[in-house]
Amino acid sequence: MSGVGRRWLTWHSRLGGPSTGMVWRSCLSPMRLAGVRHSPPRLRRGQHSASDQEPEPIDWEYYRKGIGSRLVDVYKQAYDEVKIPQYVDNVTPQYKPKFDALLVELKEAEEMSWKESERLEKEIAEVQELKEKFSTMTADEYFAKHPSSRRSLTMKLEMITGAISFNFA
Whose CA is closest to 53, among 72, 70, 35, 74? 35
Q: Estimate the share of the chain in helix, then strand, then coil, as percent rounded to the nearest 5.
A: 65, 0, 35
Say if pTM beats, i.e. exceeds, 0.85: no
**pLDDT tens over the chain, length 169 residues:** 566 666 665 665 665 545 455 555 555 555 554 545 555 555 555 545 555 567 788 888 998 888 888 999 999 999 999 888 888 888 888 888 999 999 999 999 999 999 999 999 999 998 888 788 777 878 888 888 788 888 888 888 888 877 655 554 4
Are 92 and 99 a contacting pair, CB within 8 Å?
no
